Amino acid sequence: MRPSLRPAVLATAAVTIAAGAAAQTPAPSWRPTMRVQSEVRSDNNPFLLDTLHKQRLAAPTSADSVNGRFRDMNRATDVIAVPSLQVGLAGPGVGGRTLGLAADVAYEANFHNAARRHAELQFRVDQALPRGGGLRFTADWRPSYFHKNYLADAIDLNADSSISGHEKIYVPARSNEIDLTLRYRHRLLKFTDQRPVGITADLEAGYLARHYDAPFAGRSRNGPDAAGRLAVQLGTAWTVGADYAVASLGGNPSTAVLILDENVFGVDFNGNGSVTDSSARAAVLVDYSRVERQLGVTLQGDAGAAIVAVGYGRRTRTFSSTQPYDVVNRLRRDVLKELTATVDVRLAAGLHLDLGARRGAQKTNRAGDPASVGDVADYTRFVGSAGLRYRF
């Protein structure tokens, strides 16, 4: 469940540095930990649609009502309640340094788009190491998730050799996802009164596997990723940092139905003896393999009872399809840019108020919705959030 952009290190940098120092003291015995959290998000584009498709979702055409393009996509905006519970144990680990075990379950309860409601689970192991370092293993699992409706097939009902809107067939695309990561943290420079600069570095390796249910198995992808992070603490109040990540996500070329213009390719896709049909049903090979690169920078400041952070992130996705008729992915490149702001206010011992805002915009070299599959690659999105968390 990687977010659209991997979070920059700064949002947790100060906590990481402080936790690393605290971890030098061996835990005397095992002790339970618990955290409860409730958050509400306002999302103005949960399905990542462009302006035209957001308008069509709000007022579907007669063809959309028949073909299922927006079935179970009730609103182009949504309000989402996200309760979560984390339980764990902390005690002496390797070398007497703190070992932490934690399990976290969260549930996203969409108010308007009930088909999107889903659970996310995480299991985490943290082992403190010398020099303020640490080792963390994380396993995330999202059992079932509704993305949107994609083109599954088309039927030329009136036998005119052309596929119109009401002759397309869209069905829900659901996936399950497992994300495994191993992170190593090392303090390069310790912050002291005599040296008001602290530097912490992180290296991370992981593996992501997302499997789509039939008939969209071709959208499944999996592969390794790696990341590096650097956080620089400047004095007692400010931390600045950057991270870079790259993932190689491979998929298997598979047959999918696209709506193609035979005039462009000179191919009789629908087998009617003509190569001049502008909207023909074509069963062709597609390949969703890609390389994703992400860069993030963040500035974090301590303002008394509040910690404020702002960040910028940029993600590029380069698709590697070589299939000759794959107009969806061949030579495709997407660029997503995001601005984020968060405020963590300490209300009382263990009780925090979290406020956040994220605005993103993606541009692609693909125009509109190639082959009418249901993908919309150009979009803007704003998500605002507010929540309370309490650690016992």
Residue range 172-192: average pLDDT? 95
For residue 327, the one-letter residue type is V
Strand, helix or coil at 178? strand
Residue 18 has pLDDT above 60, yes or no: no
pLDDT band at 19 (very low <50, low <70, confident <90, very high): very low
Contact 299, 10 (CB under 8 A): yes
Closest-CA residue to 211 (of 247, 177, 249): 177
The count of C-alpha atoms lying within 13 angstroms of the C-alpha of 308, restricted to the half-sphere facing its C-beta, is 5
pLDDT of 12 reads: 42
Q: Mind listing the pLDDT tens digit for each residue in 313-370? A: 999 999 999 999 999 999 999 999 999 999 999 999 999 999 999 999 999 998 888 8
For residue 347, the one-letter residue type is L
pLDDT band at 25 (very low <50, low <70, confident <90, very high): very low
Percentage of the chain beyond pLDDT 90 is 85
Domains and CATH numbers, the chain: 10-391 (2.40.160.40)
pLDDT of 264 reads: 95
More confident residue, 147 or 10: 147
Residue range 85-93: average pLDDT? 95
Residue 15 has pLDDT above 50, yes or no: no
**Phi/psi at 62 (5° precision):** -60, -35
Angle at CA 337, nearest 5°, toward 336 and 338?
125
pLDDT of 131 reads: 83
Lowest mean pLDDT among 158-172, 183-197, 218-232, 258-272: 183-197
